[in-house]
Structure 1
Amino acid sequence: MQDLVTVFGGSGFVGTQVVRALARAGLRVRVAVRRTNVAEGLRLLGDVGQIQIVQANIRNPESVARALEGAQACVNLVGVLYEAGRQKFASLHAMGARNVAEAARAAGVTRLVQMSAIGADAQSESKYARTKAEGEAAVREIFPDAVIIRPSIVFGPEDDFFNRFARMATLSPALPLIGGGKTRFQPVYVGDVAQAIARALRDPACAGQTYELGGPAVLTFRELMELVLEETQRRRFLVPLPFAVARAIGGVGDLIAATPVPPPLTTDQVAQLKRDNVANPDLPGLEALGIRPTAIEAVLPSYLYRYRLGGQFAEPPENNPAAQVDESGRTPA
């Protein structure tokens, strides 16, 4: 084992895979998280003593500096999909990214990877996208050699996107097509994103680059919902939902976000859905890092089967009347 890498946000959906990829590459990994109790299991992803868990909050510069002591490299994965309590887009995506970059520079860190997102744009209607762009700008200003990683929607067993709509399909006779379902996405596998981060961190030739990561297929929102229904073996109506109506529903979600219950939709997420989420062909992607993108069809069945009637052992819907819905949206008796 050689260099020490500090990973901020290493206990999350993407972070867990990044920690595993770095450990497999033989690096020592220090995982910096707000709540250490939720990250203890990460130690099992490496050899004895290879993975260390420390407390840090990127809103607190002192704790960030402590987490970077002795580190040669750093990965910042911290981000939120919606605002709740003190977890605000600006404080995490923009100010937090600046705190990490400043502390990394002061600590003599030589390699930094900043996680952003496709659609990061200082002029965007979405606050999420604006603050992601602000974070990129802050990192570039302080640490010009940093690598910026922008994935499309990331899929995998614990993702928030496909699991959310698969759960919805188990409860509702219909799935919404926000904005008519025309928005395009390029879903990318979480394992590929983790490998990309690990390789970009270790390869000096990647310094200063911005990578946009997408999978091998571009699919519309409607096609993604059809895929969810196919994999969960459920027949549900697909109902177009104009952006104005979706925004009203998102307003209710904004109120729910103030509670411990995750909101089904927020106004900012509606704003994000107004723009395609597809990798820019003029920027390097997975192939430039020597990674062959994983097809969504190869992974989705492995975790959406649990949303079928009977889970793994569910019958196909044509053989299972309980999984069918008639024209009125009711399940046949």
Structure 2
Amino acid sequence: MRVAITGGTGFVGQHLAERLQHDGHEIVVVSRRTGVEIDDVEALTAAFADCDVVAHCAGINRELGEQTFQRVHVDGTRAVVDAARRAGVGRIVLVSFLRARPDCGSGYHETKWAAEEIVRGSGIAHTVLKFGMIYGAGDHMVDHVTKAVRTFPVFATVGYRERLVRPVPVADAVDVLVAALEGRVSEPTVAVMGAEELELGAAVRRIAHVAGRRPLYVPVPVWTIRLLARATERLMKTPLVAKAQAQMLAEGVSEAAPPAPELPADLRPSRRFDESRIRAALPVGRFTLGDLRLSRSSH
């Protein structure tokens, strides 16, 4: 199988590329780093030549300069569909978000939903995978919590009512992606959630424990997290929390919105959010001045 992977140098895309290569498949990595802009139909068409399927993993969780949600999620997905049609690609698998939906006040959620609708209306065989929080080496979940508890003696938890999460190990996410690429997922849109449901605070405490830290946990109202997100998006190269993530934290990430069917039992993620998998995802170090966009190393 010859597979084109948009966002192939990103977190999920890179893990998928490694798995497909290990299994003997031919891959084409498509990203800005390989010289292809996500909304360039001509370049995408050339990249998709002779590909059987496209794994559309490209996405952003915050806007920066020309990389806007509209350009990457909407215009980019429309270009991917047009290019796939021109190149004769037989299937598109879209990586989306569990709670992507219209009219919810979050540009991330709304444009991810728009991308889903473009794929669903493409006339090309497809699978839309609505993933919950995916974690693993190089993620934005374990990475940021670990660096935060290593850096600060206090950790803010969201609100006074615990939200629920079902974290998905990246290895399980890749298993599901491969099944979809191979046409083994029968539903055109499915919700993909982790095997273990737990309170967000419990997930944070578990990460902190594995990282060897015991910060003071302080519950704060959701608006405080939203303000923090605005500040860190402006000041940090990779925000401690992005505005889209603040919305996720406020809602919880344990069920699809709008409702979507789950995977068949034999394809569902099975690995728990345990210490061994958290430890494998732990980053090196903590937050430093080098993480600020205003630092000299950011220029």
The TM-score bracket by the shorter chain reads: 0.7 to 0.9
* Superimposed CA distance per residue, residues 155-193 of structure 1 (whole angstroms, 9 cap, x where no aligned partner): 112111111111111111111102236221110010111
- Give the direction of change, closer, same or farther, for the CA distance of 1:115–1:170 in structure 2 (3 Å limit): same
Matched, 1:230 2:206: no
Match of 1:170 in 2: 150
- Cα RMSD for the two superposed structures: 2.1
Alignment-derived partner of residue 299 in structure 1: 277
Alpha carbons of 1:269 and 1:33: their partners in 2 closer, same or farther (altered >3 Å)? same
What is the Cα deviation at residue 207 of structure 1?
A: 5.4
Distance in 2 between residues matched to 1:9 and 1:182, nearest whole Å: 33
CA 1:301/1:254 → structure 2, altered by over 3 Å: closer, same or farther? closer
Q: Report what 1:58 is aligned to.
A: 38
What is the one-letter code of the residue matched to 2:28? R
**Runs of 4+ with deviation above 6 angstroms:** none
CA distance in 2, matches of 1:208, 1:98: 22
1:271 aligns to what? 247
Query: CA–CA distance in 2 between the matches of 1:168 and 1:195?
Result: 30
1:53-202 alignment, distance < 5 Å: 55-180=35-160, 182-202=162-182
SS in 1 for 2:282: helix
Q: 1:8 aligns with which of 6, 24, 42?
A: 6
Q: Are 1:155 and 1:161, in contact at CA under 8 Å, matched by a contact in 2? A: yes
**Deviation by residue 1:193-224 (Cα, 9 ceiling, x = unmatched):** 11111111112x53552122111111222111
Q: What is the aligned residue count?
A: 283
Which fold has the larger relative contact order, with Cα–Cα distance below 8 Å and residues 6 or more apart in sequence? 2
Q: Which amino acid aligns with 1:192?
A: D
Deviation of 1:27 after TM superposition, in Å, equals 1.8
Compared with structure 1, are the counterparts of its residues 293 and 286 closer, same or farther at alpha carbon in structure 2 (3 Å cutoff)? farther
Unaligned 5+ segments in structure 1 are 37-54, 309-333
Question: Aligned letter for 2:251?
Answer: R
The correspondence for 1:284, drawn from 248, 252, 262, is: 262
Alignment correspondent of 1:41? none
SS for the counterpart of 1:22 is helix
CA distance in 1, matches of 2:20, 2:120: 23
CA–CA distance in 1 between the matches of 2:102 and 2:162? 24
* Cα offsets for 1:27-85 (capped at 9, x unmatched): 2111112113xxxxxxxxxxxxxxxxxx3111211211111112121111000111111
What is the TM-score when the length of structure 2 is the normalising length? 0.87
CA–CA separation in structure 1 for the residues paired with 2:269 and 2:185: 18
- Output the CA distance in 2 between the equivalents of 1:231 and 1:124: 35
Aligned counterparts of 1:283 and 1:228: Cα–Cα separation in 2 = 30
Structure-1 separation of matches of 2:83 and 2:201 = 43
Q: Distance in 2 between matches of 1:206 and 1:101?
A: 20
Structure 2's unaligned 5+ residue stretches are 287-299
Compared CA separation, residues 161 and 305, structure 1 to 2 (3 A): closer
Partner of 1:48: none
Contact 1:231 1:305 (8 Å CA) reproduced? no
- For the 8 Å contact 2:165–2:198, the answer to whether it is kept is yes
Structure number, greater radius of gyration: 1
Aligned 8 A contact 1:5 1:75 in 2:
yes
Taking the aligned partners of 1:181 and 1:165, their CA distance within structure 2 comes to: 20
Q: Report if the CA contact (8 A) 2:92-2:124 is conserved.
A: no
1:134/1:293 CA distance change after superposition, 3 Å: same
The alignment partner of 1:103 has SS state of helix
Distance of 1:254 and 1:65 partners within structure 2: 33
